[in-house]
């Protein structure tokens, strides 16, 4: 390894372009050496001004480019499995955006491929684990000061959804974050899902079931409810309140300045995740680079990626059927220890 970890970024869209900027300008210890996107103009635009970066139409070709020592996958979810397996075949460490692989069968193939290697190579991009507010909530719950957690009430609102968004994606793309956060905060697996949807908002694209109310049960006897509303129009709002036996704790309102002038109080609301979770993404990628340079893999695992996909898939079935759907998880390989803590 040279002085700087050579990173190939796959996908140069919203997230990929932001990660390219982050690796180039924010994070220490790494540099972008290759970028792949079938839309090569988009890739070229994302690397404008960067030195010695090769641009590729094909993701797998980028992994074989000169100087590539690690891979950051920011292509759409359905492209992740092929990229992860190609990275594993080359022994390359990976940071893969969520959802790891949206369908659970494909996600399990990734778990099995990494387990066959006998060592972890991939970290999954559940960046909320790196957010200061989520970390404070996790520490408080772990301390036991509030007693046993009974319920998590979560809100996940986006101003608008991308044009390709489907009703299933509210669960397997958006709520995938709450699925991971709930497993991590509670140290419990989610065992069943029920989904209800009210009349769709007039602001949602025709045919999209938006908002939805998703209710999870856990193997520790807790309940987790999530309001997901991806065309709310007014702001990016992500909140979580833990209700425990002897107290409650709420996060999600603590990241902005509150200005009071005569007769009114004003608070800015972030408009998207790149603003709300900017620090979390920075910490996530820095921590991935630091660990990779030491030959370590930390952070959410491929098992966490699989568990999130399996729970989300049950959620999509619950949405379609209107009933309660149990989550079936495959046996967890020893490589991944206990439920994510």
Ligand X SMILES: NC(=O)c1ccc[n+]([C@@H]2O[C@H](COP(=O)([O-])OP(=O)(O)OC[C@H]3O[C@@H](n4cnc5c(N)ncnc54)[C@H](O)[C@@H]3O)[C@@H](O)[C@H]2O)c1
| Number of neighbours of residue 145 by Cβ within 10 angstroms | 12
The tokens of 108 are what? 């399990």
* 169 lies in the binding site for ligand X (CB under 6 A): no
Task: Please identify which residue in 26, 50, 79, 271 interacts with ligand X, judged by CB under 6 A.
Answer: 79
Choose from ligand X, ligand INS, none: what does 230 bind? Cβ within 5-8 Å by kind. Answer: ligand INS
- What is the tally of helices (H) and strands (E) in the chain? 11, 15
CB of 220 to ligand X, least distance (A): 26
* 309 lies in the binding site for ligand X (CB under 6 A): no
* 327 lies in the binding site for ligand X (CB under 6 A): no
Positions in 109-148 near ligand X (CB under 6 A): 125, 127
d(CA 217, CA 225): 9
Choose from ligand X, ligand INS, none: what does 211 bind? Cβ within 5-8 Å by kind. Answer: none
The closest alpha carbon to 303, from 338, 337, 336, 341, belongs to: 336
Interface residues toward ligand INS, by CB under 6 A:
158, 173-174, 177, 230, 273
The closest alpha carbon to 117, from 98, 100, 92, belongs to: 92
Q: Which is nearer to ligand X, 71 or 214 (CB)?
A: 71
x-marked contacts with ligand X along 240-279 as a string, rule CB under 6 A: ---------------------------------x------
DSSP structural state of residue 130? G
Asked if residue 56 lies in contact with residue 34, where contact means CB atoms within 8 angstroms, the answer is yes
Task: Please identify which residue in 22, 98, 129, 157 interacts with ligand X, judged by CB under 6 A.
Answer: 98
How far does CA 72 lie from the centroid of its chain?
A: 13
Q: Which is nearer to ligand INS, 253 or 328 (CB)?
A: 253
* 59 lies in the binding site for ligand X (CB under 6 A): yes
x-marked contacts with ligand X along 9-28 as a string, rule CB under 6 A: -xxxxxxx------------
CB of 72 to ligand X, least distance (A): 10
Phi-psi region of 28 (alpha: psi -120 to 50; beta: other; left: phi over 0): beta
* 217 lies in the binding site for ligand X (CB under 6 A): no
| Number of neighbours of residue 97 by Cβ within 10 angstroms | 21
| Number of neighbours of residue 67 by Cβ within 10 angstroms | 17
Interface with ligand X by CB under 6 A: which range of 31-39, 298-306, 312-320, 322-330? 31-39
Q: How many residues bind ligand X (CB under 6 A)?
A: 24
Strand, coil or helix: 247:
strand
CB of 112 to ligand X, least distance (A): 21
> Side-chain half-sphere of 247: how many Cα atoms within 13 Å?
10
Q: Is 193 exposed, middle or buried (0-12, 13-18, 19+ CB in 10 A)?
A: buried
d(CA 166, CA 184): 26
CB of 148 to ligand INS, least distance (A): 29
Chain residue at closest Cβ approach to ligand X:
13
């Amino acid at each position: 390894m040279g002085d700087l970890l050579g990173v190939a970024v796959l996908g140069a869209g919203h997230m990929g372009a932001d990660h390219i900027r982050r690796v180039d300008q924010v994070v220490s210890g790494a540099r972008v050496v290759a970028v792949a996107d079938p839309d090569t103009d988009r890739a070229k635009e994302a690397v404008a001004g960067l030195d010695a970066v090769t641009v590729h139409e094909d993701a797998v070709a980028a992994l074989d480019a000169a100087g590539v020592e690690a891979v950051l996958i920011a292509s759409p979810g359905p492209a992740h499995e092929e990229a992860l397996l190609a990275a594993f075949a080359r022994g390359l460490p990976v940071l893969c955006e969520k959802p790891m692989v949206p369908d659970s069968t494909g996600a399990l193939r990734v778990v099995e491929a990494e387990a066959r290697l006998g060592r972890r190579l991939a970290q999954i991009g559940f960046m909320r684990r790196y957010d200061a507010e989520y970390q404070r909530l996790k520490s408080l719950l772990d301390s036991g000061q509030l007693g046993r957690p009974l319920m998590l009430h979560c809100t996940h609102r986006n101003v608008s959804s991308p044009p390709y968004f489907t009703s299933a994606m509210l669960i397997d793309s958006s709520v995938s974050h709450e699925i991971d956060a709930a497993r991590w905060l509670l140290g419990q697996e989610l065992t069943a899902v029920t989904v209800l949807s009210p009349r769709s908002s007039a602001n949602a694209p025709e045919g999209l079931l938006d908002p939805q109310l998703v209710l999870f049960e856990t193997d520790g006897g807790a309940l987790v409810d999530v309001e997901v509303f991806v065309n709310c129009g007014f702001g990016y709002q992500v909140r979580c309140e833990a209700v425990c036996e002897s107290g409650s704790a709420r996060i999600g309102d603590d990241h902005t300045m509150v200005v009071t002038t005569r007769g009114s109080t004003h608070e800015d609301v972030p408009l998207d995740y790149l603003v709300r979770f900017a620090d979390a993404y920075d910490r996530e990628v820095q921590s991935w680079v630091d660990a990779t340079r030491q030959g370590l893999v930390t952070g959410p695992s491929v098992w966490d990626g699989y568990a999130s996909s399996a729970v989300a898939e049950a959620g999509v079935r619950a949405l379609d059927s209107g009933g309660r759907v149990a989550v079936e998880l495959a046996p967890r390989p020893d490589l991944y220890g206990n439920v994510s803590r």
